[in-house]
Amino acid sequence: MSTEARPERASVRLSARTIVLYAIGSVGTGGYATLPGLVLTYFLTDNLGVAALAAGVIVTAAKIWDVVIDPLIGAASDRQLARTGSRRGFMVLGAVTLPVFFALTFAVPPSWGPMAGAVCVLLAFLATATAFSLFQVPYVALPAELTDGYDERTRLLGWRVVVLTASILLFGAGGPALRKAGDDPVLGYLLMGIVAGLAIGIGMFVATRTADAAAARHIGDESAVATAAGIREQYASGYRALRRSQPFRALLGAFLLQALATGTMLAGAQYVATWVLRSEDAVTFVFVALVGPALVATPAWTVIARRVGKERAFGIASVLFTLAAASLTIAVWTPGAWIYASVAVAGIAYAGLQSLPMAMLPDVISHDERTHGSGRAGTFTGIWTAGETVGFALGATTVSLTLALTGYVSTVAGTMVEQPDAAITGIVLSFSILPALIMLASLLPLHRYRLRRHDIDA
């Protein structure tokens, strides 16, 4: 293991062009993170007639695949950077292939039957997940290479989260609207898959331009050299990164649990709209309530982070989200429009939960570079993306298990059923107290995060 410190590079202010191009990538990441988490389980249970437990297995299996390939893509991205001077190749490949696979995921008709439909959705979503990882892993590595500044990274990631938040609102509200554009739900899902897939791919492709800007800052950085390695060594490299970097372990643990909490709430949103608020279309208003306040709150979290530090601001956002989610438990007894108010408070916190850990990750990477040498950003972001994937996957699994245990009745498109009271209660709990408890647990690893501003700016 190299202990050579990386060469000093002046922390310059990022250009507006670089920030804009990088932020546009979140149109793609926001769309991919939102729509499958929001509608895929519901698509399987209420359109294809797949049992809730089986639907959860499908979504989880695709995410497990992500966990397997993300560390490999991260290590391969580091080698590509060393060999070609840019991470752009993988990013472009992911951007141009994802729209096709995303559309195919929602192209399966109910007439094929639950078994065939489930298999086809699984295969298409596995391909979609692979394409996304090819883009996402190097994309997350770029901030550590674009700037060395503690506050400049917060600025870069803050604007990214503004676009991410707008993207979540666009896809969370627009996706279901496209699905309801016609009388035929089968064609509606197909239209949603095509339009959303193209929008995601375009946003990803635009952001690939920032890979060249990051590479330009590393010209002449001889320490950023990665050597070819086998698969076993690539996984071993990720394990070593986890073992040697205590700040990374702490931040990853907190972020994984928070991805689980928000993933659980996201997967339950459509069910809350349909069976608690009694309208499929209400999911649009849930998303407006969640994301609308976040558009305004993201710059505020940036200001708070500058004054008290990123880690303290992150803790404040976590506590606020916990309280807002816990308050939604009251909907078990008195459902109503008041739910939107609690969701809006959670949305204010959600803005911080998105921007702050993403701004802390480059600090962790630069700290490791300073003490162990550079050239490993892709390794860190591969593990990070895998952890995020695990969290969101288990969120959908948690909702699916809750539905199965409480007797949720799956249906095919066009069929009306009534859900038992126990299933309605399970839906509310998966949207409220479960994510609140998980978020509360995330404060334990976050408390162990030790990096502060002076550690980065030293």
CATH code for position 175: 1.20.1250.20
At 234, the amino acid letter reads Q
Cβ atoms of 254 and 458 closer than 8 Å: no
- When divided into structural domains, the chain yields a total of 1
Task: From residue 296, give the alpha-carbon distance in Å to each of 26, 291, 344.
Answer: 17, 9, 11
In a domain, 1, yes or no: no
Residue 229 lies in a domain: no
The three-class DSSP label of residue 412 is strand
CA distance 121 to 132: 16
Asked if residue 180 is part of any domain, the answer here is yes
The amino acid present at 27, given as its one-letter code, is V
Helical (H) or strand (E) element with 402: helix 377-405
**Domain limits for position 394:** 16-214+234-457
* Residue closest to 105 by CA, chosen among 30, 44, 154: 44
What pLDDT was estimated at residue 93? Answer: 95
| Confidence (pLDDT) at 316 | 95
pLDDT of 238: 63
Quote the pLDDT of residue 120. 92
Q: What pLDDT, on a 0 to 100 scale, did the predictor assign at position 402?
A: 86
| Cα distance between residue 292 and residue 173, in whole Å | 11
pLDDT at 217: 54
What is the per-residue pLDDT for 4?
Answer: 40
pLDDT at 237: 66
Query: Which pair of tokens denotes residue 12?
Result: 């310059």
How many residues comprise the chain? 458
User: Tens of pLDDT along the chain (458 residues)?
Assistant: 344 444 444 456 778 888 888 989 888 888 887 788 778 888 888 888 888 778 878 877 877 787 788 878 887 888 888 788 788 889 999 999 999 999 999 998 888 888 998 899 999 999 998 999 999 888 888 887 777 776 777 778 778 878 887 887 788 778 878 887 777 878 888 999 999 999 999 999 999 988 776 555 554 444 444 444 555 666 666 667 767 778 888 998 899 899 889 888 877 887 888 888 877 677 778 877 877 787 788 888 888 988 888 889 999 999 999 999 999 999 888 888 888 899 899 989 988 888 888 888 888 888 777 776 655 666 777 777 777 777 776 777 788 888 888 888 776 655 667 778 888 888 899 889 999 999 999 999 999 988 777 666 66
The answer to whether residue 7 is domain-embedded is no
Decide if 283 is inside a domain.
yes
Distance (Å, whole) CA 120 – CA 430: 27
Is the distance from CB of 86 to CB of 138 less than 8 angstroms?
A: no
**What's residue 15's pLDDT?**
83
Q: Is the pTM of this model over 0.75?
A: no
Report phi then psi at 48, rounded to 5.
-100, -5
Give 154: exposed, middle or buried? Use CB within 10 Å, 0-12, 13-18, 19+.
buried
Q: How far apart are CA 169 and CA 162, in angstroms?
A: 11
pLDDT for residue 406: 87
Tell me how far apart the alpha carbons of residues 372 and 1 are, in angstroms, rounded to a whole number: 7
